[in-house]
Chain A
Amino acid sequence: MPELLQRTVLTRHLLRNPSLMIFLGALACVCLAVTILGEGFGIGLISTSFIKTLGKTLCLCMIAIAMDLVWGFCGILSLGHFAFFALGGYMIGMWMMFARTRMIVIEAAQNNVLPPTPVEISEAVGTQIFGVVGGAEIPAIWAFADLFWVQLSFIALVPGLLAYVFGWLAFRSRVNGVYLSILTQAMTLALSLYLLQNDSGLRGNNGLSGLQNIPGLDHVPQSILSIIFFLASGLALAVTYIMASAVVGSKLGNIIRGIRDDEARVRFLGYNVESYKLFIFVLTAVIAAIAGALYYPQAGIINPTELAPIASIYLAVWVAIGGRGRIYGAVIGAAFVSLLSSYFTGGQAPDIPLGFATIIWTDWWLVLLGLSFVVVTIYAPQGLGGLIDKLVTRERG
């Protein structure tokens, strides 16, 4: 039996990476604990809304891994990965909103004398969904919104294609460093401005809503749905982590780190640097999109403000605080900062009276975050992961 295990790629990979085993173990423990403590299947010590927060955090950890791959390992500071994240959310959201509205419409039509025609159904769905932006027609981009599997494949295909086209253009013309960052930021801005328009076909600034209700699963309570999504997010994160560490541990990992450190040298070794960058860019965009597709059903709503350029920069902040170039660093950073953020901005943190003034955390948290980010960048460029590495090497040494 052990010999057989040895032989599979996965187990070999696991055995060679103790940190991966630790991570997967910890993740499994968290998932188990949350399931037991949650309302859906367990004793109800953790509220459903907090489980959703935790589930969303796992998705954020996933996109943080993507960001770490593209920035920490390949050196491309992309300020556009949240755009892919949001696009993934939009893709699954389209199906959820369309399918559910369709069910509601058909149910409402039960009382009519005449059974509804397909045209009537689609008109009613169109009015329901696009009434807020003054439309009634279903835009062409919703052509497949009713087909779950097609829309599911779009989660990877649409952001992947966008990343491919953008990356191909940008890398081909050797746009590098901060220029590339600004360009990705511009791409994100263009996309969010486009989605803000009412005639974008995606409900303008209203975005897609009601995504917490899964079509066909109306009878399942949110407390159970939240656990299911939480576990699904955990599974996706585990798969992402394994995949990312496999990529990083492969010869490709050597090449992309080489690109990060000295692009020209890699080129003179005979590697087509552009295709490597493109590969990583598209791969991480797809990871981000899948994370988004899991995130937004838990958030319940998605709108264009989600992909404002600032979101992508926050992503970079998490990864930097967690520690670049270490996959667990990205996870730690994303989980740590986003949970802390939701704690402070959620109004749960007690205000601090100073006599002459009161520190209200919802107001001052961002100031603190911004400044602490400066401090981390200057004094701990390796982030929290760097501190852990130091501790581990000291124990070993």
Chain B
Amino acid sequence: MAPLLHVDNISVSFDGFKAINALSFDIGDAELRAIIGPNGAGKTTFMDIVTGKTRPDSGDVRWAGTNVSLLKRSESQIAQLGIGRKFQKPTTFEDQTVHENLLMSLANRRDPLAVLVYRRSQPDEDRISGIAQQIRLSESLDRLAGELSHGQKQWLEIGMLLAQDPKLLLVDEPAAGMTAPEREVTVALLKELAQTRSVVVVEHDMEFIRALDCRVTVLHEGAVLAEGSMDFVTADQRVIDVYLGR
């Protein structure tokens, strides 16, 4: 079976610096995958390319085993195809309530006129309260997102991704700045999500990755250095040299 996302030999450089160097990479359906690597390994740039923010100099990114190349699509089209992204810093709309944040993310029609005449419907409201429960924010639906704690914002952002109902979730450093209990909740959340869809997690925190208990890809200088289970890659000498051993 064809992989959900097939990254084929992409390269990109900024002012001579090779951020991604002939990277190839596959993710299957309903797979939980962790990506680790030192700073500048190209983790964020890789996400930028998949989500359409950055155009690679060469190579191709194909979606869902079809002939759909993501490179010719805009960010919003890629998002509509079913790729959700969570940023490093929690980015929610702080001036709007949790409910509004989730409402905007719901997988409804995205064109301005449809949005203008949108009327709230019971199925949508049910979905929102369902997600709110999932991300432990049922009590806070009418609070402004800006009033939430750091961890709650991270969850809200994951909730927004869920509302989009994506087939692939790209999650950038979800555990950053979280307290230990919050982390546990997050791990559980991500694992739960990976039951029904693919999730790619970029993270520095090795304990967190270990807790996720999934296949791990190590990036270095824009290319894959090693891939396998957590125990497998942490035993790899090259990985120890460039990343763990420092």
Contact = CB atoms under 8 A, between A and B. Distances in A.
Nearest to A265: B91
A352 interface: no
B93 A270 contact: no
Contact of A268 (B79, B93, B95, B103): B79
Q: For A250, A254, A257, A269, which residue has the most chain B Cβ atoms within 10 angstroms? A: A269
A258 B103 CA distance: 12
Interface in A232-266: 247, 250-252, 254-255, 257-258, 261-262, 264-266
Interface in A27-74: none
A166 interface: no
A246 B75 CA distance: 28
Contacts of A276: 112
Interface residues on A, range: 20 to 34
B116 interface: yes
B76 A265 contact: no
B59 to A, nearest CB: 22
Interface string B85-122: 10100011111100010011101001111011110000
Interface string B36-77: 000000000000000101000000000000000000001111
A269 B91 CA distance: 11
A96 B173 CA distance: 64
Nearest to B81: A270
Given A261-B95, A269-B104, A269-B105, A251 B79 contact: no
Nearest to B105: A269
Chain A CB within 10 Å — which of B53, B80, B104 has the most?
B104
A145 B76 CA distance: 43
Contacts, number: 77
Contacts of B112: 252, 255, 275-276, 279
A271 interface: yes
Interface in A358-374: none
B164 A254 contact: no
A267 B100 contact: no
B87 to A, nearest CB: 7
A117 B192 CA distance: 84
Given A254-B103, A269-B79, A270-B79, A275 B116 contact: no
Nearest to B112: A279
B95 A265 contact: no
Contacts of A8: none
A289 interface: no
Contacts of B95: 257, 261
A272 B76 contact: yes
A258 B104 contact: yes
12 contacts: A251-B116, A255-B104, A262-B91, A265-B91, A265-B93, A267-B79, A268-B84, A268-B85, A269-B104, A270-B80, A271-B76, A272-B111
